[in-house]
Chain A
Amino acid sequence: APAIDMQLYAGIHSACYNYITTQSTDTHKPDANSGSDIYNQLDKYFSELARSILSGLDTPDNSAEETELLARLLPAFQRFSSGAQTVNRLLNYVNRHYVRRAIDEDKGWLGMHDVMADFVRSPSAPSPLSIEEEKAARMASIAKLLGSPRSTGINLTTVTDDSPSRETLAQKYRERKVAVLATWGYDPNASDSGSSSGTAFRSTTTLAEAEAAAEAASESGRVILIGSLAHRRFRFDCVEPLLAIPKGVKKKGKKKKKNGGQGQGTEVAEDEKLAEGLAGVSLQAGGASSQAAGSSSSQAGGSSSQIGGSSTQQQDLPGPKGRLARAVKHLLEVDERPETERIRIAGELADMLRKVGVKIDHPLRKKLESFVVG
């Protein structure tokens, strides 16, 4: 991505500052609401861009798809991703003003309510209150507990409150966060927490990288840093359609997911099974309100009946049906380029999937990472 000159940077920073501060005095609304329009418009912008990248992947000749798809997708993602980092810096005022406040209000990728959902169900924490009362009482103190999770990792240790349950909650939050970040490759005990080496595949992931991936894996209702917002949109609007199993006769680029699942039989079940592997929903099933627009498969949450229900159907498939899965199969099994080259491409793709928030237990990520490592 091209560098932004200082004047433009300063101009946009002040424009955002002026807009947000003016808006909040004009409307007498809480500060946290200002900035949401910029944020939502950015989300739309990234969405349109990701869609146009997806449609740009189509070839006039279907037969070239397996060899050409990755050759076009990976550079497009690199460009998108590096641009996203630049925009993240350019609009850092929005990150600081709007995103951070939203996180403080428990609208971030890992909310205290996610942790509490576990906590109130735990038999080790019996309560005379009903679960709802308990939850309501604790929700009232959450804002204080949530300091600035991103800047320091977790700074809840500084809370000096006399309530023991707050301590317990803070501890639960820390444990949960470490556990989730571990699934994104962060090892808090690793001595080397610096940036990765130049190898195609990294063995260590920094805290910031893991958290960015965890953010990108969140549902669309969660407020995350602008760079991660772009990656999440890339997942929703470009990667997930490429991973999706088309229904019936394959139609390129236009696959609609039916979330209702009524009466669609195996096709819907297969799609939802795939969707389970995509988003980081299962670790965050806290019932955050998701926006209806464009959140695609992550909205399939709650379909727990699908977990065991459709496993046999996928085994009947003769080969991968998703566009990306076919391209990967070709890369790993058919492609005649030197192995080092194929490993490099597989590593780049694995990296892309992680960055946009496709979970490690997704079959394609597993396949790619074992190819790269093995």
Chain B
Amino acid sequence: SFQTLWAYILPALDKIMLP
């Protein structure tokens, strides 16, 4: 589902985007 996908992507986004 989308939730599962997003749960997978989100940590990567945070790692890349957050200072």
Contact = CB atoms under 8 A, between A and B. Distances in A.
Given A79-B19, A80-B17, A87-B17, A16 B12 contact: no
Contact of A19 (B2, B12, B13, B16): B2
DSSP class of B's interface residues: helix, strand, loop or mixed?
helix
A86 B16 contact: yes
A15 interface: yes
Contacts of A4: 12, 15-16
Contacts of A19: 2, 5
Interface in A79-117: 79-80, 83-84, 86-87, 90-91
A290 B18 CA distance: 28
A319 interface: no
A8 B18 CA distance: 17
Residue among B6, B12, B15, B16 with the highest chain A CB neighbour number at 10 A: B16
Interface residues of B, number: 13
Contacts of B19: 76, 79
Contacts, number: 45
Contacts of A11: 8
Contact of A15 (B8, B13, B15): B8
A11 B12 CA distance: 11
A200 interface: no
Given A19-B2, A37-B2, A87 B16 contact: yes
B4 to A, nearest CB: 8
Nearest to B15: A2
B11 to A, nearest CB: 9
A83 B16 contact: yes
A42 B17 CA distance: 12
A90 B16 CA distance: 10
B18 to A, nearest CB: 8
Nearest to A53: B19
B17 A12 contact: no
Nearest to A20: B5
B5 A49 contact: no
A16 B13 contact: no
B9 A1 contact: no
Given A19-B2, A37-B2, A12 B16 contact: no
Interface of B: 2, 5-6, 8-10, 12-13, 15-19
27 contacts: A1-B16, A1-B17, A2-B15, A2-B16, A4-B16, A11-B8, A12-B8, A12-B12, A15-B5, A16-B9, A19-B2, A19-B5, A37-B2, A38-B2, A38-B5, A38-B6, A38-B9, A41-B6, A45-B10, A45-B13, A76-B19, A80-B17, A84-B17, A86-B16, A87-B17, A90-B12, A90-B16
Pairs A-B, 5 closest by C-beta atoms: A83-B17, A19-B5, A83-B16, A86-B16, A1-B16
Given A12-B8, A16-B9, A37-B2, 13 more contacts: A1-B16, A1-B17, A15-B5, A19-B2, A38-B6, A38-B9, A41-B6, A79-B19, A80-B17, A84-B17, A86-B16, A90-B16, A91-B9
